[in-house]
Structure 1
Amino acid sequence: MAQVMLNNGRYRARLATCGADIAAAQGLRTRAFATETTDRDSYDHLCQHVLVEDMRADNHLVCCFRLFDMQGGAEIGRSYSAQFYELSALKAFEGRMVEMGRFCIAPDYSDPDILRTAWGAMTTYVDENGIELLFGCSSFAGTETEAYLDAFAMLKHRHLAPKRWLPRVKAPDVFRFAARLRRKPDSKKAMLRMPPLLRSYLAMGGWVSDHAVVDRDLNTLHVFTGLEICAIPPARKRLLRMIAG
């Protein structure tokens, strides 16, 4: 039986309950990330998977992501992100945390209500489980930096992680945008090139690493992204909880 997290108009968010659900999520990820082989890894068995379905199209899967729940910073080394970022600073974080990963939306869907439904489901999970830090890797399509320089400049000037939590370099291939970029960002260009998921994090008070990892396996550039729940503006919290119902 589906473990429904919320209904939002034509879309429903629920937790995966069986192997077929996880396989469906892996299939969507494979299409969205355009990988040559099925997108799956060992973390799939450690995580809970959230599925967003279109109830007007025979519950067609339109979005998915996975959640890796941890009791506190002492477990940060177990995270997917820790493969790419040196996260020892976050070991001092005492609250419960969850890693949000493999977020994707079906390539043939562009309805903003899908992202709203996903964030509503995330809000439900955060509230029900007492989460204090949400984190993950936010990806830019492709591995070339040129098209994203204004976006990276904006991240440098406005959204870098607090020094006490700042991830350090671990991956062999990175773009150190905070150290290299001297340009003043064009805000309009920056927001046009900012991935929708990352825009949502930033609007809620999220922060990022000072470098991007070049991930050639997934053909992306990604930045470590953190969001302390206590930092979300009250008006934004109210809006998210309205969506969550």
Structure 2
Amino acid sequence: MTGAPLLSKGRYRARLAEGAGDLARARALRTLAFETPEHDGDRFDGICSHVLVEDPRTGTLVCCFRMLTLEGGADVARSYSAQFYGLSALESYAGRMVEMGRFCIHPEWRDPDILRVAWGAMTAYVDREGIEMLFGCSSFAGTETERYLDAFAVLKSRHLAPKRWLPRVKAPDVFRFASKLRRKPDMKQAMLRMPPLLRTYLMMGGWVSDHAVVDRKMNTLHVFTGLEIGDIPPARKKLLRSVVG
């Protein structure tokens, strides 16, 4: 049996996972994509909905992510991100929220349509559930900051969170790029180094924390990322809904 369908577009199908078998497949893909020494999984898997993007012709799982739906900011302390960021500023947020996490694409699949379908599936879910904000941790591979300085400089100059929502430092090991960087970014290098998921968030009007968390367990640097659905430019909304439609 398969979970509820969210979207079918071109050669790919997105659906909600159902049962232990689907969750095991998602965890296996995450382990492969994140190159973790141990099988990837945590306590949040049991309270999240999981989206699978598959190629039905071969049965291959090409992308997955998980979603934690919150009724509002009062529940934000339940999120995965709250382990790493001080999110008290978001506690006053009144609308429904979804934390998107553990997003990954199969390392052997390079088709840009996979990301489009994944975002289309998210759009379908957001529309269906009346979600007003997406948030999560956007990850850069590795824990060395040097190769990402241009990307961080762009985040500092163009994409910092509004002060009313700005996450505070909570993790013990962070890179405070907003206060430390004094450089004019090379835009080409910045875009090359920017993770595709984060790039998509930013194109839709998303914003980030003023620091990156150094997560040595996952071997990543990550920034808190938020996106208010009402702030997505009309042209971008039209693009997303064209995938859903």
What is the TM-score normalised by the length of structure 1?
0.99
Q: Match for residue 8 of structure 1?
A: 9
Q: 1:59 deviation in Å? A: 1.8
Q: Give the match for residue 126 of structure 2.
A: 126
Which aligned pairs between 1:169-184 and structure 2 lie closer than 5 A?
Answer: 169-184=169-184
1:44 to partner: Cα distance: 0.2
1:96 Cα offset (Å): 0.3
Alpha-carbon shift at residue 8 of structure 1 (Å): 1.0
Q: Aligned equivalents of 2:98 and 2:197: distance in 1?
A: 16
Distance 1:229 1:121 in 2: 15
Offset of residue 203 of structure 1: 0.2
Amino acid at match of 1:137: C
> 1:39 maps to what in 2?
40
Counterpart for residue 241 of structure 2: 241
1:162-187 per-position Cα deviation (integer Å, ceiling 9, x unaligned): 00000000000000000000001111
Aligned to 2:25: 24
Q: Give the SS at the match of 2:75.
A: helix
Q: Report how many residues are paired.
A: 244
Identity of paired residues, percent?
Answer: 72
Q: Which amino acid aligns with 1:96?
A: R
Paired residue type of 1:110: R
User: Is 1:117–2:90 an aligned residue pair?
Assistant: no
What is the root-mean-square deviation in Å for CA atoms of aligned residues? 0.6
Q: SS of the residue aligned with 1:37? A: coil
Q: TM-score, with normalisation over the residues of structure 2? A: 0.99
**Equivalents in 2 of 1:178, 1:147: separation in Å?**
16
Partner Cα separation in structure 2 for residue 110 and residue 163 of structure 1: 37
**What is the aligned partner in structure 1 of residue 137 from structure 2?**
137
Aligned equivalents of 2:75 and 2:8: distance in 1? 32
Question: Deviating runs (4+, > 3 A) in structure 1?
Answer: none
Q: How far 1:55 sits from its partner (Å)?
A: 2.0
Displacement of 1:37 in angstroms is 0.8
**Secondary structure at 1:113 match in 2:** helix
SS at match of 1:157: helix
- Residue 211 of structure 2 aligns with an amino acid whose one-letter code is H
CA distance in 2, matches of 1:99, 1:229: 13
Structure 1 residue 223, shift from structure 2 partner? 0.1
SS at match of 2:131: coil
Shift of 1:64: 0.2
Structure 2: 5+ residue stretches without partners: none
Long gaps (5+) in structure 1: none
